[in-house]
Structure 1
Amino acid sequence: MDRLKGKVAVVTGSTSGIGIGIAREFAAEGAHVVVCGRREARGQEVVEQIAAEGGSASFHRMDLTDLSTVDALFADTARDHGHIDVLINNAAGVGLKDGRVDEISLEDWDAMFASGVRGTFYAIKAVLPYMIEAGGGSIVNIGSMASISGDLGSTAYACSKAGVDMLTSSVALQYGKQNIRCNCVRPGLIVTPQNEAHVPQQLKDVFLSNIEVNRYGNPADIAHACTYFASDESAYVTGQVINVDGGLNSHAPTVAQFRSAGSRTW
């Protein structure tokens, strides 16, 4: 349980869902975790939960729409802990409007990109000087399977997450010689305590008919992948974008229909 021992890890958006799962696993693996987000009371609850489990964590308020809080996050973390080894870019806006191309206003499009890719870009830009000074680090971006192919809606979200994929490759290329690695994890359907009541059963059934491991994902599934990328086990891995989706995107889109029809034709 010491895969991240001695490391200082910043996990953005770690006051709910996937972010909490990542923060808890990192702490269990020996890292000091900086929990951050907009909701201080909720962040303190996560810190207390980690402490009760024997881990080390602290909270720092951060809001991607206020870049001064991003700067302060890294400056304060470096001052208090001496170094920043890992950045998990998990934070993203919620409740933003999306839809078909003809339905999205430019304001909604810009808001989605500000949340989905601009914030990720700025967090990386802000942490780079600290990682360079420390002699290296690991950056893990949380992307989305939405970036892989077209969708009936979610146009702006999908395009912003496709930008995260390319940003991952660019950072890996540009800073690899300075011992900074950058990888991306694309979650599939992840059911969390926060979203479970809002995911319709019909949607779950559609996904499950295409998922190959007979269950939905949970935050721990994403946390496991992030732990690998954050640890020295992945020292020779950078610029990679991996799907953690139970095999959802590993096959032709017609598999579920052919399976229900009892056919092996793909």
Structure 2
Amino acid sequence: MERVKNKVAIVTGGASGIGLSAASLLAKEGAKVVIADFNVEGAKQAAENIKKYGGEAVGIFLDAGDENSIKEAIEYTVQHFGTVSILFNNVGLTNLQKDLDVVNLDLDEWDRLMNINIKSVLLGSRFAIPHMVEAGGGSIINTASMAGFTGDAVRSAYGASKAAVVNLTKYIAAQYGKDKIRCNAIAPGLILTPAAENNMSSEVLDIFAKYNALPYHGEPDDIGHTVVFLASDESKFITGQTIQVEGGHYIANPSVPDFKDLMNKAQK
């Protein structure tokens, strides 16, 4: 229960879903946690819940589309807890109504997603790294996506922005490794966050399940536990990597489930 004891973490987008899981698990493992979210009331409530089981946490406002807001969140973390040793750049947006194929996507939405999904990662790292250097090291963890590795019918801006997260992760790792700063990313597949469960029909979930290698969907804690691992000294020789946490959805020839169905029918 002390894998990140005495470390100071800031989790962006920590009021719900993956961010909330990561913040809670980091606190349970001994970290002091700043939960930064546009939903400031949700962030404060998450911090209060952490305090109930003896953890240290505080919730603050963050607009990941605003440079000054990101800088202020990092500075608050340092002022409140003395340093920052873990940065989880988790904020990300998608928009199925406007982020379409490359001919039809909304260009303003392209700019908005690039600003939130990749520029916020750059800025969070930019403002945290000097403090990590001063403290003697740290761990930066970025939320990428399997959309950054594959093509899709829609979400062109989202996929491009997440591919950029994958490569920016490598650049940060290469540039600041000698300062004992590690930078890694996590690429989730479908994770059953409250938002996913509320917005995805059973038919859509069944399609994902069909192509998963494992017989179940991912949950927020599957990502949260990976964050704790990358934040801890257990991963001290891992940097510049993107860990794919996706239930084996993308590992096989895409025709495998259909061929299995065909063979099952032939055996009947």
Calculate the TM-score normalised by the size of structure 1. Answer: 0.96
Q: Which deviates further from its counterpart, 58-67 or 215-224?
A: 58-67
* SS of 2:244 mapped into structure 1: strand
SS in 2 for 1:195: helix
Matched-pair contact (CA < 8 Å) for 2:44–2:60? no
> 1:95 Cα shift?
4.4
Q: Which runs of 5+ in 2 are unaligned?
A: none
Coordinate RMSD, CA, aligned: 1.2
State the 1:262 CA deviation.
2.1
Q: 2:146, 2:187 within 8 Å by CA — same for their partners in 1?
A: yes
AA paired with 1:205?
D
Whether the 8 Å contact between 2:94 and 2:113 is mirrored in structure 1 is no
The amino acid of 2:230's aligned partner reads F
- In the other structure, the counterpart of 1:240 is 241
Tell me the distance in 2 between the aligned counterparts of 1:74 and 1:91: 14
Kindly state the Cα deviation for residue 234 of structure 1 after the two structures are TM-superposed: 0.5
| Aligned residue type for 1:58 | V
Deviations 1:189-241 (Å, cap 9, x if unpaired)? 10112331211111111111111221110100001111110000001110111
Identity of aligned residues (%): 38
Please name the residue that 1:142 is paired with: 143
CA distances 1:111-153 after superposition (whole Å, capped 9, x unpaired): 1111111111111111111111111100000100001111011
How far does the alpha carbon of each residue in 1:12-31 deviate from its partner, in whole angstroms, 9 at most, with x for none?
00011111111111111111
Segments ≥4 residues shifted beyond 2 Å? 93-97
State the distance in 1 between where 2:163 and 2:200 align: 24
State the alpha-carbon separation in 2 of the partners of residues 39 and 149 from structure 1.
31
Residue pairs, 1:12-91, within 5 angstroms: 12-91=12-91
SS in 1 for 2:252: coil
Once the two structures are superposed, the pairs formed by residues 255-266 of structure 1 within 5 Å of their partners are 255-262=256-263
Which moves more between the two structures, 58-67 or 9-18? 58-67
State the one-letter code of the partner of 1:75: E
Indicate the SS of the match to 1:182: strand
Q: TM-score, normalised by structure 2?
A: 0.95
Count of residue correspondences = 263
Q: Distance in 1 between matches of 2:222 and 2:174?
A: 27
Which has the larger displacement, 254-263 or 54-63?
A: 254-263
